[in-house]
Homo-oligomer: A and B are copies of this chain.
Amino acid sequence: MSEEPATGRDRLAQIHDLIRERIMMLEYPPGERLSEAALAAEFGVSRTPLRRVLASLEDEGLLRSVHGVGTIVTDVDLEELAQVYRLRMELIVLIPRLDPLPVTTEVISGFRELHQRALALRHAPAARDFAALDRDMFLALNALSGNQPLRDTSERLYFRTARIWLQAITASDIDLENEAEIYCRETAEILAAVEALNLDALSHLRRAHIAMSFSRMR
């Protein structure tokens, strides 16, 4: 009975996360023009509260509202992408140093599950599943720090550029099966680090993986 209270503030937060998910999953690709009226109708709210959500997404750099034109999903140029990646690589290694949380058995089993998903993905590669897996991997790693500003910042940066990676995959600039193979090795390494309770190694592994991913993406 935890579903559907969703009144007022919570409801708007759900809409925010849902639209963000659609942007990340390229359901709304860069350049797409969203309609305030259509979205408002879909979610059963008026334009006013919906615009509150779009304003947040605009502040996060995912949308750009232009008077008389529409609400457009932003694109990310290579330089901006590089800057975000460089910063994210530095923030990753802060996780074990800033208010690290205890690694419980639940945490470990969570990473074991992520690795299983990676193995399954290797046998049935799909770009969207890949993106969802990487997002959940990010969230799992991000949850290892108790530093709220760090978590908020990392999340903001992740969703700022995650769709570009999926876009590169989809555009076949990158070989999907090869990427899945690589990702399996990476999740295996990360799982080993978690099981060894070595967060420092874990964060540096992830940092290296992000760097390599960016290299292949260029």
Contact = CB atoms under 8 A, between A and B. Distances in A.
Interface of A: 8, 52, 55-56, 59, 67, 80, 83-84, 86-87, 90, 94, 97-99, 147-150, 153, 156-157, 160
B83 A149 contact: yes
Nearest to A98: B86
Number of copies: 2
- Chain A, interface SS category: helix
28 contacts: A8-B67, A55-B55, A55-B56, A56-B59, A59-B59, A80-B149, A83-B98, A83-B147, A83-B149, A83-B150, A84-B149, A86-B98, A86-B147, A87-B94, A87-B98, A87-B147, A87-B149, A87-B150, A87-B153, A90-B90, A90-B94, A90-B97, A90-B98, A149-B157, A149-B160, A153-B153, A153-B156, A153-B157
Contacts of A67: 8
Contacts of A84: 149
Cβ-closest 6 pairs across A and B = A83-B147, A87-B149, A84-B149, A87-B150, A86-B98, A153-B153
